[in-house]
């Protein structure tokens, strides 16, 4: 099985179940025109995030790692009109592109984009008591994924769901002696989740247009 075939299946699923989406297409176009890396979630993955947030009836969503706001748009669309999505981005250029994309999608009123290192922004969010968040999506620098998940747990309520992206990375997750900070981060994530009695979690391997990877999904049972 090849990436070519995984991409064709993603295209098939997208054509059948995701459909044409001018706002999302415009966002990807603006990202490319502005030189952003094409590492957004795929359309079927974006739709999964949207469905999860809808299934959950989420009113408050936290995202760590905005890029051009492609996943932000998917998640914000699941919110009610009085909902809120707080998204954190380190790179001011990414953030500027994302603001444009979110505004063009008609979602500016729901989205609070904060520029800076996510660990700092997360401290502010805790101080401002913006939580608890119903759904958190962690998709920034993978070396810090466990720290972001730990803070997302602190900003949760019983029943909150946390999703972390890019956890499997071509199977590198099982390389115990790796020097890769990303893989070490993803392994620490599993140690943290295994040791935390407040959460229950699993990791799902995926293939698709972005290759072989996977995501972790955690339910916060108590805080």
Binding site residues, Mg ion, CB under 5 A? 139, 165-166
Interface with ligand DHB, residue 21, by CB under 6 A = no
Rounded Cα distance, 165 and 106, in Å: 25
Q: Tell me which stretch binds ligand SAH (CB under 6 A): 17-25, 37-45, 77-85, 182-190.
A: 37-45
Rounded Cα distance, 179 and 18, in Å: 38
Pick 40 or 132: Cβ nearer Mg ion: 40
Pick 91 or 221: Cβ nearer ligand SAH: 91
Interface with ligand DHB, residue 10, by CB under 6 A = no
- For ligand SAH, the binding residue among 140, 153, 163, 189 (CB under 6 A) is 140
Rounded Cα distance, 160 and 143, in Å: 23
Q: What share of the chain is helix, strand, coil (3-state, %, to 5)?
A: 45, 20, 35
* SS3 sequence of 11-27: HHHHHHHHCCCHHHHHH
Q: Tell me which stretch binds ligand SAH (CB under 6 A): 5-13, 76-84, 133-141, 198-206.
A: 133-141
Q: How near is the Cβ of 137 to ligand SAH at its closest, in Å? A: 7
Structure tokens at 151: 């803070």
118 binds, among Mg ion, ligand SAH, ligand DHB, none (CB under 5 to 8 A by kind): ligand SAH
Q: How near is the Cβ of 221 to ligand SAH at its closest, in Å? A: 26
Rounded Cα distance, 114 and 47, in Å: 24
Question: How many helices (H) and strands (E) are present in the chain, helices listed first?
Answer: 8, 7
Rounded Cα distance, 69 and 102, in Å: 6
Interface with ligand SAH, residue 88, by CB under 6 A = yes
Interactions with ligand DHB, residue window 84-143 (CB under 6 A): 139
CB 159 within 8 A of CB 131: no
86 binds, among Mg ion, ligand DHB, ligand SAH, none (CB under 5 to 8 A by kind): none
SS3 of 176, please? coil
Question: Given the rule CB under 6 A, which residues bind ligand SAH?
Answer: 39-41, 65, 67, 70-71, 88-91, 94, 117-118, 139-141
Binding site for ligand DHB (CB under 6 A): 39, 139, 165-166
């Amino acid at each position: 099985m090849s990436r070519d075939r995984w991409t064709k299946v993603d295209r098939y699923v997208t054509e059948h179940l995701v459909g044409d989406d001018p706002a999302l297409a415009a966002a990807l176009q603006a990202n490319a025109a502005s030189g952003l890396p094409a590492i957004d979630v795929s359309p079927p993955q974006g739709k999964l995030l949207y469905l999860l947030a809808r299934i959950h009836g989420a009113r408050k969503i936290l995202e760590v790692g905005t890029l051009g706001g492609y996943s932000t748009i998917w998640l914000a669309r699941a919110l009610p009109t009085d909902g809120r999505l707080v998204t954190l981005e380190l790179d001011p250029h990414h953030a500027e592109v994302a603001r444009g994309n979110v505004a063009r999608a008609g979602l500016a009123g729901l989205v609070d984009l904060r520029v800076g290192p996510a660990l700092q922004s997360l401290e502010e969010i805790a101080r401002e008591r913006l939580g608890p968040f119903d759904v958190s999506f962690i998709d920034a620098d993978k070396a810090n994924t466990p720290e972001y998940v730990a803070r997302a747990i602190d900003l949760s309520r019983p029943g909150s769901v946390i999703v972390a992206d890019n956890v499997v990375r071509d199977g590198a997750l099982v390389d115990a002696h790796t020097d890769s900070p990303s893989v070490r981060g993803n392994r620490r994530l599993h140690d943290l989740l295994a040791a935390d009695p407040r959460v229950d979690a699993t990791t799902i391997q995926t293939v698709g247009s972005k290759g072989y990877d996977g995501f972790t999904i955690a339910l916060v049972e108590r805080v």
